[in-house]
Each structure stands twice: as structure tokens, then as C-alpha cells.
């Protein structure tokens, strides 16, 4: 396995990292503005740096772990888990060290959307790129239909809520 990312992967890394700086740095500014302009600016700069660097690191981790995995499921689950653990620890730790006043308000949406959502979406896209024969939307529709059929087939009691 090559240690370097190919050109399309490197461009993806740079594009999402820059966008992350602007989006989440702005979020930290807004959530901390009530603590004064100085605190909001510090939180925005802190989060902007965190977002740029962690998105860069997460994307490299997602690309490399995905390459090492075989099978569509492992190409989604394993890279996502690795990136989310890295993201949460880095984000919470850096904000704590910088003394961000509204710590959990600043980091919770960033971890959920920026960490879990991004990692899951990116790793799924990589899995689909690696396995173009897999039709993920069709698979999800089939799974949801099976679940709906199983729910309709199961006997209900009066104390169970209906869907």
C-alpha cells in the first residue's frame, strides 16, 4: 500500500478541510458570542484550527483505513470508528485546554455532524467507489422493507405502541 494519497484523494482532503475550518469556526464564534467578542474570537480560532487539522487527519485516516479493508461493510464501519474516536478526543481535549466557556455547546454538534456524520458519509462514499457493483440505496430500501414486513407480521399486545 502506498504511503501517499493519490491526486483525487489529496484534493478531497484539502477541499473538505478548508470547508470545515469556515463552517465550524463560525459555529464556535456564534455559540460563544454571549461571552464577549474576545472569548468568541478565541473559540472561533481554536475551532477553526481544530476543524482544519482534524478534518485533514480524519480524511487521511478514512482514506487509508478504507484501502486496508475488504468488503463493503468493513470499509464503512472500521474507518468511521477510527475517525470518530480521533475526532472526539482531539476536539474535546483542545477546547478544554483552551478554556472554551461553552464547551459542550461548542463541541456537541461538531462531534455529531462533523465527526460521526462526516465520517460515515465519507467512508460510505469510499466503499461505493471501491465497489461500484454495490447499490447501497437499493440495499437500504430492501433492509427497511424487511424490517417493516417483520413489524407487520409480529403479533401486537395492547401495551405495545404501534408504528
pLDDT per position as a tens digit, 117-132: 889 888 888 888 887 6
Distance set, CA 20 to CA 24, 26, 107, 110, 123 (Å): 6, 10, 13, 10, 17
Task: Name the grid cell of 65.
Answer: 483505513
pLDDT per position as a tens digit, 50-66: 888 888 898 889 989 99
Q: Which residues of the chain have pLDDT under 70?
A: 1-5, 132-144, 147, 156-163
Q: Give this prediction's pTM.
A: 0.63
Helices 136-153 & 118-130 angle (0-180, nearest 10): 110
Amino acid at each position: 500500500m502506498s504511503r501517499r494519497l493519490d491526486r483525487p484523494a489529496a484534493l478531497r482532503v484539502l477541499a473538505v478541510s478548508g470547508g470545515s475550518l469556515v463552517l465550524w469556526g463560525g459555529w464556535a464564534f456564534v455559540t460563544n458570542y454571549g461571552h464577549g467578542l474576545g472569548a468568541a474570537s478565541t473559540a472561533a480560532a481554536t475551532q477553526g484550527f481544530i476543524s482544519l487539522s482534524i478534518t485533514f487527519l480524519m480524511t487521511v485516516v478514512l482514506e487509508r483505513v478504507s484501502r486496508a479493508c475488504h468488503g463493503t461493510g468493513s470499509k464503512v464501519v472500521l474507518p468511521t470508528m477510527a475517525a470518530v474516536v480521533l475526532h472526539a478526543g482531539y476536539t474535546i481535549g483542545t477546547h478544554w485546554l483552551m478554556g472554551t466557556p461553552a464547551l459542550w455547546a461548542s463541541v456537541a454538534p461538531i462531534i455529531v455532524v462533523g465527526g460521526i456524520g462526516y465520517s460515515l458519509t465519507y467512508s460510505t462514499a469510499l466503499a461505493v467507489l471501491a465497489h461500484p457493483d454495490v447499490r447501497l440505496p437499493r440495499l437500504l430500501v430492501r433492509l427497511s422493507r424487511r424490517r417493516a414486513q417483520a413489524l407487520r407480521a409480529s403479533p401486537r399486545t395492547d401495551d405495545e405502541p404501534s408504528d
